């Protein structure tokens, strides 16, 4: 049986916490920053947890069988 390959882009874009949650980067922070408020831009710095519905897809991309 061949091994499943991990998706390299997923490896770089997501990180797992000690508690098992997966964190992702927030969207909308790369351009048109002049029109966004400082408060809004500050909130983009924090990573946010991934939605539970995306866990099975991401787990498959990471090449893991068990729950994260």
pLDDT digits (tens, 9 = 90+) for 9-63: 998 999 888 888 899 999 999 999 999 999 999 999 999 999 999 999 998 888 8
Q: What is the pTM of this model?
A: 0.73
The pLDDT-based confidence of 2 (bands split at 50, 70, 90) is confident
5 vs 51: CA distance, rounded Å: 23
Q: Alpha carbon 58 to chain centroid distance?
A: 9
The pLDDT-based confidence of 3 (bands split at 50, 70, 90) is confident
Number of H helices, E strands in the chain: 3, 3
HSE toward the beta carbon, residue 47, CA cutoff 13 A = 12
Note the pLDDT of residue 20.
82
Q: Is domain 8-62 in CATH 4.10.410, yes or no?
A: yes
């Amino acid at each position: 049986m061949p091994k499943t390959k991990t998706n390299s882009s997923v490896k770089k874009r997501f990180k797992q916490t000690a508690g098992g949650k997966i964190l992702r980067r927030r969207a909308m922070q790369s351009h048109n920053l002049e029109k966004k408020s400082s408060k809004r831009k500050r909130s983009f710095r924090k990573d946010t947890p991934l939605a539970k519905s995306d866990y099975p897809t991401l787990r498959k991309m990471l090449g893991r069988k068990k729950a994260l």
